[in-house]
Amino acid sequence: MSILPKRWVRQLIYILLLLPTVLVGIDVLFLRLFPNSVHFVLPVNRHKAVITQLAFRECYSSVFCQPKPGFMRLEKDLFLNKNWIGQIFVEYQQSSWNDLTGDQLVVLDLAVSNIEEDSKVAGNGMNLYPIRILNDLQGISGRKFISKIVGDDGKEEEVVYKIPSAKQIKEKGWEKLDYGLWVKYGPFDEFQALTDIDVLYGFEAKEVRHKWIKLPNPLLLNRVPVFLSFRRKGEKQSSKPKLKINSQGKFKILQVADLHFSTLNGTCQDPEPPLKPNESCFADARTLRFLNKVLDIENPDLVVLTGDQIYGDRAPDSQTAMFKALEPFISRKIPYALILGNHDDEGSLSRDQLMEIVEQLPYSLSEKGPAEIDGVGNFYVPVYGSRSSNVAMSLYFLDTHKYSKQKKVYPGYDWIKENQLEWLSKAHIPYLEDIENYSHIHLSMGFFHIPLPEYRDFHEKHVGSYKEGVMAPTFNSHARNVFGKLGVGVISVGHDHCNDYCLFDEENEEGDKTGNMWLCYGGAAGEGGYGGYGGTTRRLRLFSVDSQSNDISTWKRLESSPDDIFDKQILVKNGVTVWE
């Protein structure tokens, strides 16, 4: 009888010890090797949940109308609080994987009727089954009908459909609910089962979350276009993007200030030029046309949104408004950093809730920031060199809050707090070695919403328009000095829609202004916010960083002539903030 060498025995033991881990990994990530009874209780799957039932709940008052027993509710009135006699909510049951019984059905798909389109399918005039269901049942036996359908490319094409019977619809798991919604139930399938559901409002609504799907048709309601959106299991979202100077040594930033988006279309305020009699103007759509045009022209490496993306009480569903504002960047795969203004949290979501959502979106660099620091959205973003892992540029983002909490002593707007400034002075330290090892001159910029008090020190060394009073805090916490000590050469803000100047703010002998600094405004981009002051065309500001010459330059584009640039100027030359 032969005996295996000790080395072989050890290797065999190692293989046997590793085998369970390998099998679990294959089961979870690739193939279902284990039966459901084992697969569901694996530690990696225990917390996962799927939707097992959907329903609508009609209420005269949500306060006295609790969810059905065993159901959870989406706290979004489908009437968007526009119906004074009642509300409608989506409710659902959810179960974790390991709680599912062997014969329990789960929700696998959704479809919503579109009477106009569904009736165009030959043979479907009586039943009006949604085209999504007809596509799901194309393997059935039955009579074939040839229909002319407009495809996604806008061209008419012939499609052959088999119109199912009511029995075949039921056997496939489809059940009809109210408001044109159809729900497909079936045995659990971890890749087909719905895990989350949500509601978005308006025909302009966009779904920008990773692996979420917005149904193409709205529910059949008479008040507001309401779209259901859902998610199935999908791969984990990729990590936050890493900013890098391009191979030509350039880096371009588009600043988008004060979009003032609404949940629905939005109303144009002070449009320029003024509207003609009986001329309509949808603020968000008009703003998006301008924004998309500039994005196509400039193709920036980063977009910075400096607050008031949402217009408070005109956004009864803040999530819909925020998604609409961010879709142009996400669809183009452009990284963006967002900070909040004084109006963003005046809709349905708090500052914490908004930033928590934005943090998780694709291509977002935004962060809530340290919980112990005042404000939501204090964060630092490094920009790496084109040929190394060293940091070429530092970008600082701060929350400037809303309104003063000491109105009698310091009326008006709030200010950057002391603990924010302490954090600011140390935010770059984790990257200090990579900053010091950078072979060129390290550059720095800062972005936030409400201007510093120093923006009021207006003088002849400026470029751009000064049309309205500077709405800065009355209390000066000397944030400008902290930025100066960090070597920040340019700060840019929003808030004051009709100012778009860059002010050359020079250091002084008193020591409260360290280093020269450009104090810039982005100029408002959104038609939904105020304009006026003699007529103010919406605009966007851009910054170009040249890491070879160590320069920062800026220019703007107008909605009325987006192909042209104006007010182009050099802000930083060879690493030095200059007036030229």
Domain with residue 570: its CATH number is: 3.60.21.10
| pLDDT band at residue 159 using 50, 70 and 90 as cut-offs | confident
490-508 mean pLDDT = 96
| 119 and 207 part of one domain | no
Average pLDDT of the chain, as a whole number: 90
Instruction: Report the percentage of the chain scoring pLDDT > 70.
Output: 87
> Rounded to whole angstroms, how far apart are CA atoms 245 and 117?
48
Whether pLDDT at 145 is above 80: no
Which amino acid appears at position 577 of this protein? T
Write the pLDDT tens digit of every residue in 447-460: 999 999 999 999 99
pLDDT for 375 equals 98
507-513-517-520 Cα dihedral, nearest 10 degrees: -130
Q: Is a pLDDT exceeding 60 seen at residue 40?
A: no
In this structure, is residue 15 part of a structural domain? yes
Q: How far is residue 443 from each of residues 348, 382, 449, 472, 488, measured CA to CA in Å?
A: 38, 10, 21, 26, 7
pLDDT tier for residue 19 given thresholds of 50, 70 and 90: low
Q: Beta strand pairing status for 156-162 and 72-73?
A: unpaired
| Cβ density class 170-192: b for 16+ within 10 Å, e for less | eebbbebeebbbbbbbeebebeb
- What does the CA dihedral 142, 143, 148, 149 come to, rounded to 10 degrees? -20
- Let me know if residue 42 belongs to a domain: yes
Q: CA 532 to CA 294: how far, in whole Å?
A: 23
461 and 419 co-located in one domain: yes
79-83, 250-254, 352-356: the lowest-pLDDT one: 79-83
Q: Report if residue 1 sits inside a domain.
A: no
CB 486 within 8 A of CB 428: yes
What is the DSSP secondary-structure string of 54-87? EEEEEES-STT-PPPTT-EE----TTTT--TT-E
8-state DSSP, 132: H
List the alpha helices (DSSP H) in 30-161: 36-39, 115-118, 131-136
Q: Is the pLDDT of residue 94 over 60?
A: yes
In a domain, 293, yes or no: yes
**Counted domains in the chain:** 4
Q: Is residue 510, in this structure, part of any structural domain at all?
A: yes
Secondary-structure breakdown of the chain: helix, strand, coil percentages, each rounded to the nearest 5: 20, 25, 50
For residues 200 and 65, membership in a common domain is answered with yes
Give the position of tokens 């309601």: 221
Strand residue runs (E) in 188-284 = 194-201, 212-214, 226-232, 243-244, 250-256
pLDDT at 153: 61
Question: What would the two tokens of residue 246 be?
Answer: 């391009």
pLDDT-derived band at 150, boundaries 50, 70, 90: low
Query: Do strands 576-577 and 566-573 pair parallel, antiparallel, or not at all (unpaired)?
Result: antiparallel
What per-residue confidence (pLDDT) applies to 146?
A: 58
Residues 163 and 139 placed together within one structural domain of the fold = yes
Which has the closest alpha carbon to 295: 334, 324, 266?
A: 334
pLDDT (tens digit, 9 = 90+) per residue, 533-557?
A: 889 999 999 999 999 999 999 999 9
In this prediction, residue 83 carries a pLDDT of: 81
Q: Which residues pair with 160 in a beta bridge?
A: 146
Domain region containing 96:
34-108+180-236
pLDDT at 9 over 90: no
Whether residue 529 lies inside any domain: the answer is yes
Q: 408 pLDDT exceeds 70?
A: yes
* 37 has pLDDT over 70: no
Q: Is 505 inside a domain boundary?
A: yes
In this structure, the answer to whether residues 447 and 572 fall within a common structural domain is yes
pLDDT-derived band at 414, boundaries 50, 70, 90? very high
Residues 6+ apart with CB under 8 A from 486: 394, 396, 424, 425, 428, 444
- pLDDT of 98 reads 83
**Could you tell me if 340 and 213 lie in one domain?**
no
Burial (0-12, 13-18, 19+ Cβ within 10 Å), 129: buried
Q: Which is more confident, 222 or 242?
A: 242
**pLDDT band at residue 222, thresholds of 50, 70 and 90?**
confident
pLDDT by residue (tens digit) across 276-310? 998 999 999 999 999 999 999 999 999 999 999 99
End-to-end CA gap in the chain: 93
Q: Which of 188, 208, 236 is the last residue of a domain?
A: 236
Query: What tokens were used for 323?
Result: 């998604």
Mean pLDDT within 169-177:
95
Give me the pLDDT at residue 36, please. Answer: 45
pLDDT of the residue at 469: 95
pLDDT at 156 over 80: no
Based on the fold, state whether residues 28 and 167 are members of the same structural domain: no
Judge whether residue 464 has pLDDT over 90: yes
pLDDT at residue 470 tops 80: yes
* Residues 342 and 452 both lie in one domain: yes
Q: Looking at the structure, do residues 150 and 188 belong to the same domain, yes or no? A: no
The pLDDT value given to residue 30: 45
Q: Please indicate, yes or no, whether residues 20 and 128 belong to a single structural domain of this protein.
A: no
Which of 178, 185, 186, 221 lies closest to 202 in space, CA to CA? 221
Residue 23 pLDDT? 56
Whether residues 20 and 160 share a domain: the answer is no
Higher per-residue confidence, 414 vs 149: 414
Task: Give the torsion sign (CA, 490, 496, 498, 499).
Answer: negative
Same domain assignment for residues 84 and 167 = no
DSSP summary character for residue 264: S
Find the range with the poorest average confidence among 148-162, 208-222, 407-421, 462-476: 148-162
Give domain status of residue 60, yes or no. yes
Q: Which residues contact 424 (CB under 8 A, 6 or more apart)?
A: 378, 396, 398, 479, 482, 483, 486
| pLDDT (average), residues 208-225 | 94
How many other C-beta atoms are found inside a 10 Å radius of the C-beta of residue 225? 16
Question: Percent of the chain beyond pLDDT 90?
Answer: 74
Residue 149: pLDDT band (50, 70, 90) is: low
Q: What is the spatial distance between Cα 101 and Cα 463, in angstroms, rounded to a whole number? A: 69
* Banded model confidence at residue 102, pLDDT cuts 50, 70, 90: confident
Give all strands (DSSP E) within 375-422, no chain letters: 379-384, 391-397
The one-letter amino acid code at 478 reads: H
The mean-pLDDT minimum among 80-89, 435-444, 531-540 falls in 80-89
- Sheet containing strand 87-96, edge to edge, reads 49-59, 87-96, 72-73
* Four-CA torsion 393, 422, 426, 257, nearest 10 degrees: -20
Q: Which two tokens stand for residue 432?
A: 């200090």
